[in-house]
Structure formats: structure tokens, C-alpha cells
């Protein structure tokens, strides 16, 4: 119910919405990724340590003024 209001507010203010209807739908369905094996085999994907990932995400959010 709040997601459409957040989208309208973002249009009025010209800022990105904090969450959208699509994000809520995705969260509601509980999408889970159990394995990255296919990405490793087909794309050469390699995961990185959780700490490094969280630090990079924090830095990105900080640089983009979300924190």
C-alpha cells in the first residue's frame, strides 16, 4: 500500500524511491539463490568475502548520499 505512494513522492521530489512495488513483490515471493555454480561455470563468476562485499556496499551507499 505504501510503495505506490513512495513512487509518487519520488516523482514529485525528483528523487529515487526508497522501495517500489516491484521490490515488494520480489521480497514477498522470497526469491532465494541456493547456488552460484551455474554462474561460475558459464560466466566465470567468483564470489568475494562477505566482509569485502558489505564494505563496498556501504561505501557505495555513502558516496551516493543514501547514508
Domain extent listing, the chain: 1-32, 34-67
Q: Band the pLDDT of 36: cuts 50, 70, 90.
A: confident
**Are the C-beta atoms of 49 and 43 separated by less than 8 Å?**
no
Q: pLDDT value at position 50?
A: 93
Q: pLDDT value at position 29?
A: 80
| Residues in CB range of 23: below 8 A, 6 or more apart | 3
Q: pLDDT value at position 9?
A: 85
Between the ranges 3-7, 12-16, 30-34, 59-63, where is the mean pLDDT highest? 59-63
**What distance, in Å, lies between the first and last C-alpha atoms of the chain?**
25
pTM of the model: 0.42
The better pLDDT of the pair 27, 38 is held by 38
**Are the C-beta atoms of 17 and 6 separated by less than 8 Å?**
yes
Amino acid at each position: 500500500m505504501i510503495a505506490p505512494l513512495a513512487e509518487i513522492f519520488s516523482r514529485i521530489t525528483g528523487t529515487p524511491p526508497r522501495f517500489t512495488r516491484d521490490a515488494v513483490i520480489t521480497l514477498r515471493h522470497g526469491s532465494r539463490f541456493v547456488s552460484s555454480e551455474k554462474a561460475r561455470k558459464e560466466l566465470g563468476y567468483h564470489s568475494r568475502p562477505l566482509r569485502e562485499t558489505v564494505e563496498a556496499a556501504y561505501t557505495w551507499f555513502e558516496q551516493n548520499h543514501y547514508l
